[in-house]
Structure 1
Amino acid sequence: MLKEERFKIIMKQINLHNKVLSVDLSMLLNVSEDTIRRDLKELADGGHIIRVHGGAISNSLVRPFIADTNVYSIEEKKIIASKAVKLIETNMTLLLEGGTTIFELTKIIPKELDLTVFTISPQIAISLSDHSNISVYTIGGQLKKNHNIHVGSKTINELYRMRFDLCFMGVNALSVERGLTDIDMEVVEVNRAMFEVSNKNALLTISEKLNFTKRYQVSDLSDINYLITELDKNDQQLAEFRKNYMNIGIL
C-alpha cells in the first residue's frame, strides 16, 4: 500500500473516532508500528493531526473553538444538535461531556431557558458563559489535556455526589452487540459514572460511528434512553437498534 493511501485511511479513522492507537492502525493497515509512527509524525508535522503517546488525535478534539479548525462532519453534527436541544426543558439539571457535537449543542440552547448545567469540559463551560439564565458548573479533577475534559478519581467522586435529569454524551464507537465503547480507559471510567448518576442518558453521534467497537465498554444499550444521529429515525441503518432495544428513543 502506498504511503498516500495509508494517510487517507489514517485521517479517516482519526476524523471518525477523534483518536487512534498505533497498534490498531498497524493491524488495520497490515504494516509495522514503526511505519505507523513515521506516518503519524509526518501527518503531525504537516499540521493535520496531533500526536499523543501511543497514537494520535484530531485537531478538532483539542481545538473545537478555533474558527479555522476543520471539524469533521460539521453539518451532520449541527443536525444532531438541533434534535438534541428539543429534549431540554426549563429548570432541568444537565450533565454534558465534551467534544465537537456537544459544543454544537451548546451554541443553540435557548437563552430564555432556566437551567443548571454541569460539565467535565472546561471548554463547554466557557461556551455557555454568555447564557444569563444558565448556572454553569465544572466538575473538576485531572485535566486530560488532549481531550480537554476532566478525568480521574476526583472527577468520579464528585459525580457520585450529584444527580442529574439528563446527560448528553458523545460517541467514539457504538454497536448493537457491545453498546458504547472507547479506547481510553480514563475516559471510559468517567463516562460510566456519568451514566450512573443521570436519570436519562442521550448519545449524540454521526452515523459513521455506528457498528464499530473499541477495546473498553462504557455501557450496553440498556442504559441509553435516546440515540440521536443525523439520520431519519426510520433509516435502515438504525433498524437493528430499533429491533433489539425498543427502550431507546431514536431521534
Structure 2
Amino acid sequence: MLKEERQTFIMRQINLHNKVLSADLSAMLSVSEDTVRRDLKELAEEGKVLKVHGGAIGKSFHYPFNGNSEVYALDAKQQIAAKAIRLLKDDMFILTGGGTTMIEFAKKIPENLRATFFTISPLVAIQLAEHSELTVITIGGQLSKSSNVHIGSSVINQLADIKVDLCLFGTNGLSVQEGMTDSDWEVVQVKKAMLRASKKMAVMSIAEKLNSTQRMKVCDINQVDYLITELAADNHFLSPYQHLDLELL
C-alpha cells in the first residue's frame, strides 16, 4: 500500500473513532509500527492530527470550538442531534458524555426547555451553559487529554450519587455482537458508571461507526434503549438493529 493510501486510511480511522493506536493501525495495515509512527508524525506536522502516547487523536475532536477545525461528517452529526432533541422533556434529569456530536446536540436544545444536565465533558458544559433555562452540573475529576472528558474515581463516586432519566452517549464502536466498545480503559469505567446512574440510555452515532468494535467493552447491545443515527429507521443498513429491543431514531 502506498504512503498516501495508508495516510488516507489512518485519517478515516481517526475521523471515525477520534483516537487511534499505532499498534492497531499496524495490524490493520499489515505494516510495522515504525511505519505507522512515521505516518502519524507526517500527519501531525501537516496539522491534520495531534500525536499522543501510543497513537494520535483528531484535531476537530480536541478543539471543537476552533473555527479552523473541520468537524468530520458535520451534517450527519447535526441530523443526529436534531433527532435526539425529541427525547427531551421539561424537568428531566439528563447525563451526557462528550464529543463533537454531543456539542452539536447541545447547540440545538430549545431555548425554552427546562431541564437539569449533568455532564462529564467541560466542552459540552460550556455549550449547555448558553441556554438560560438549563441547570448545568459538571461531574469533575481528572481531565483526559485524549478525550476531553473527566475520568477517575472521583467521577465514578459522583455518578453513584445521582439517578437521571436519560443518558446520552457518543460511541467509538457499536455492534450487535459486541455491544458498545471503546479504546480507553478509564473512559470505559466512567461510561459504565454513567449507565448505572441512568434509567434510559441513548447512543448517538454516525452510521459509519456501526458494526465496528474497539478493544474494551462498555455494555451489551441490550442495554441500549435508543440508537440515533442520521439514517431513516427503516434504512436497510440498520437491519441488524431493527429487530432488537431498542428504538431507532
Please give the TM-score of this superposition, normalised by the length of structure 1: 0.98
Residue number in structure 2 paired with 1:226: 226
Residue number in structure 1 paired with 2:164: 164
Match of 1:248, as an amino acid?
A: L
Which aligned runs of 4 or more in structure 1 are off by greater than 6 angstroms? none
Residue number in structure 2 paired with 1:118: 118
Match of 2:117, as an amino acid?
A: V
1:222 aligned counterpart, secondary structure: helix
Residue number in structure 1 paired with 2:12: 12
2-side partners of 1:167 and 1:2: how far apart? 43
Q: CA RMSD in A?
A: 0.7
1-side partners of 2:76 and 2:203: how far apart? 14
1-side partners of 2:127 and 2:180: how far apart? 26
Residue number in structure 2 paired with 1:83: 83
Count of equivalent residues: 249
Q: Is there any run of 5+ residues in structure 2 with no aligned partner, and where?
A: none
1:157 aligned counterpart, secondary structure: helix
Q: Is 1:61–1:146's contact at 8 Å kept on the other side of the alignment?
A: no
2-side partners of 1:106 and 1:98: how far apart? 10
Q: Is 1:174–1:210's contact at 8 Å kept on the other side of the alignment?
A: yes
1:124 aligned counterpart, secondary structure: helix
Residue number in structure 1 paired with 2:200: 200
1-side partners of 2:121 and 2:210: how far apart? 24
Residue number in structure 1 paired with 2:109: 109
1:248 aligns with 2:242: no
Match of 1:241, as an amino acid?
A: Y
Q: Is 1:16–1:208's contact at 8 Å kept on the other side of the alignment?
A: yes
Residue number in structure 1 paired with 2:34: 34
Match of 2:90, as an amino acid?
A: T
2-side partners of 1:196 and 1:156: how far apart? 10
Per-residue CA shift, 1:163-215, capped at 9, x if unaligned? 10101100101100011001111111101111111000000000000111111
Per-residue CA shift, 1:63-96, capped at 9, x if unaligned? 1111221100000000000100010000001101
Question: Per-residue deviation at 1:222?
Answer: 1.2
Per-residue CA shift, 1:36-60, capped at 9, x if unaligned? 0111011001100011101111111
1:59 aligns with 2:59: yes
Question: Per-residue deviation at 1:146?
Answer: 2.1
Question: Per-residue deviation at 1:130?
Answer: 2.1
Please give the TM-score of this superposition, normalised by the length of structure 2: 0.99
1-side partners of 2:240 and 2:126: how far apart? 38
2-side partners of 1:214 and 1:132: how far apart? 38
Per-residue CA shift, 1:137-180, capped at 9, x if unaligned? 10011111221110011101110111101011001011000110
Residue number in structure 1 paired with 2:215: 215
Identity of aligned residues (%): 51
Question: Per-residue deviation at 1:61?
Answer: 1.3
2-side partners of 1:189 and 1:13: how far apart? 23
2-side partners of 1:215 and 1:208: how far apart? 18
